[in-house]
Structure formats: C-alpha cells, structure tokens
Structure 1
Amino acid sequence: MEILHVELTDLEAVKQFVTQVSEVDVLPHFNEQGKMAYESRVLPDIVTTFDIGRFQILKVVCTGEIVGFGALRDGNYLTHLFVSKSVQGQGIGKRLLNALLDTSEAKEISLRSSVNAVGFYESYGFEATGSEADFNGIRFVPMCLAR
C-alpha cells in the first residue's frame, strides 16, 4: 500500500473510484432528492479538487488499484475522504487522513461527515459541531478537529 499525490492523469480513475464507493457507502443513506443532488453536484465536484493551488489531494494505491482518495482544501477543510469497502477497517483511512493533515499547520480542521462516517471521525478526535443536517437531501454532520 502506498499513499501518493494525485496527478491530473488520475482524474478519471479517481472519479470512477469515488462513484463506486459512494454507491456502496454514501448513497444508501440519502432519499431520492439527496441521491440526485449528490450525483449531479458532489460527484462532478471531484474535478475541482485537482486545483493544486487550493487542495492537497492524495490517493492510496494497493496492487496498482486506487483504494483510497482524500482532499484537503485550503489546509483546513476536509472535502473528501473515501476508502474502498474491501479495505475498510484496516487503518487505511486513518493513515490517509494523517497524511493529509500532515500537509497542514492549521489549528482546526473542519468537515461535513457523511452519516455513515461519523464514528470514524470521532475515533480520530473530531467532534460534532452541530446536529445532523440536510442540504437538498444530502445528510451530514458538521465536525471539527482542534489540534
């Protein structure tokens, strides 16, 4: 397993990976409106993370296949963290998160956690900063990590 910087040539593979993980782990927690909003807005938004002036983007590769992807915007906002179901529970998500956070000196890191990932972020030390919310059917919990 390697954690590597994402290159522009990875764009299609990352989009495909995020789509696959989303179908299994994220979309089942949304109503129809949320699924449509996620597919029309969030998935295409992956392209914006390839702006290296604003984002630190990393991938996890295992036997030539992407099994993790993460993006940190402006050093203080985690926009994406995806790990393939096949390798969840092996510490890959925490290693990827550590690698992203190591690129920043920010005292606070915030994010909007998918409802299925709240426990993961809590185990890392993130705390909810509000209750579960809904934006166009996309459910999330706002969270923050003070460092």
Structure 2
Amino acid sequence: MHIRKLNEDDLPLVSALCIEAFMLAVAPSLSAQGVETFAKVASVDAFAERKQGDNLMLIFEADGVITGLVELKQGRHVAMLFVAPSWQRRGIGRRLINAALEHAREETVTVRASLSSVPAYRRYGFVLAGDVGEFAGLVYQPMERRLP
C-alpha cells in the first residue's frame, strides 16, 4: 500500500472510482443537476485539465489497485477526496488527507464537504466554517482545518 502522484494512465480508473463512490454516498441526496455537475467535474477530461493546473492529485494504491484519490487545489483547498466503496473504513481517507496536507501552502486548508462526508472531515480535524451552500446543484458544508 502506498500513496503516489496521479499520472495520465490513472485518469480513467480515478474518474470511475470517484463517480462510483459519489453515486453511492452523495448522489441520492442531490438533484439531477447536482449529479450532472459532478459527472462533468469527475470526467477524465476534467481531471486531465485540472492536472495541468496548480492541483496536487494523489492516489492510494493497494495490491496494485487504485483505491482512493485526494485533490488539493492551489495548496489550500481539498477539491476531492474519494475512497472506493469496498475499501472504505480502512484509514485510506485519513492517509490521503494527511499526505495532501503535507503539501499545503496556507495555514488554513478548506473543503466544501458533501453533507454525507462531514463526519469524516470532522475526524480529520476539520471544523464547520459557514452555512450550508449550493452550487450548480451540489450541496456542501464549508469546513476548514488550521495547520500547526
């Protein structure tokens, strides 16, 4: 088991993993617009485009299989954190978030957490940072974590 940077060959698998986890945990609580918005954000092309920008994308591999992804945007915002459903509750999310935070360039790291992921982010040391919001059908809870 190890964490490494995402490469071009990983894009289809990472996209599929994120969409699968999203569809199980988040999509049931959203409108069709929210599901459509996420599908666009998690597409192979969208990942490839963001990979060219100032986004750190790390994957967790176990037994040669990609089991999780974290995306840190501009060294200050967790844009995505997903673990394959069959691999959840094994510490992968925590290891990914900790690895991403090692690359943070700000004292405070933010996330727009899906409502179902708020308890996980609380366990990772994030606190609520505002009211629930909505963008293009995606409902989120702003959260932040101050780093030492």
* Structure 1 position 7, deviation (Å): 1.0
2:49 maps to which residue? 48
Cα separation, 2, equivalents of 1:50 and 1:127: 28
How does 1:125-136 map onto structure 2 within 5 Å?
A: 125-136=125-136
2:14 maps to which residue? 14
Q: Which runs of 5+ in 1 are unaligned?
A: none
2:142 maps to which residue? 142
How does 1:83-94 map onto structure 2 within 5 Å?
A: 83-94=83-94
* Structure 1 position 125, deviation (Å): 1.6
* Structure 1 position 88, deviation (Å): 1.3
TM-score (norm 2): 0.90
Q: Which runs of 5+ in 2 are unaligned?
A: none
Cα separation, 2, equivalents of 1:86 and 1:12: 18
User: What SS does structure 2 have at the residue aligned with 1:130?
Assistant: coil
1:43-80: per-residue Cα shift (whole Å, max 9, x none)? 233233312x5011110111111110111011101111
* Structure 1 position 33, deviation (Å): 2.4
Cα separation, 1, equivalents of 2:37 and 2:4: 30
1:32 maps to which residue? 32
Q: Contact 1:73–1:79 at 8 Å: present in 2 too? A: yes
Q: Match for 1:50: what amino acid?
A: K
Cα separation, 1, equivalents of 2:101 and 2:144: 13
* Structure 1 position 30, deviation (Å): 0.6
TM-score (norm 1): 0.90
Q: Percent identity?
A: 29
1:113 maps to which residue? 113
Cα separation, 2, equivalents of 1:91 and 1:109: 20
Cα separation, 2, equivalents of 1:82 and 1:49: 16
How does 1:63-78 map onto structure 2 within 5 Å?
A: 63-78=63-78
Aligned residues: 145
The alignment yields a C-alpha RMSD, in angstroms, of 1.5
Q: Contact 2:30–2:137 at 8 Å: present in 1 too? A: yes
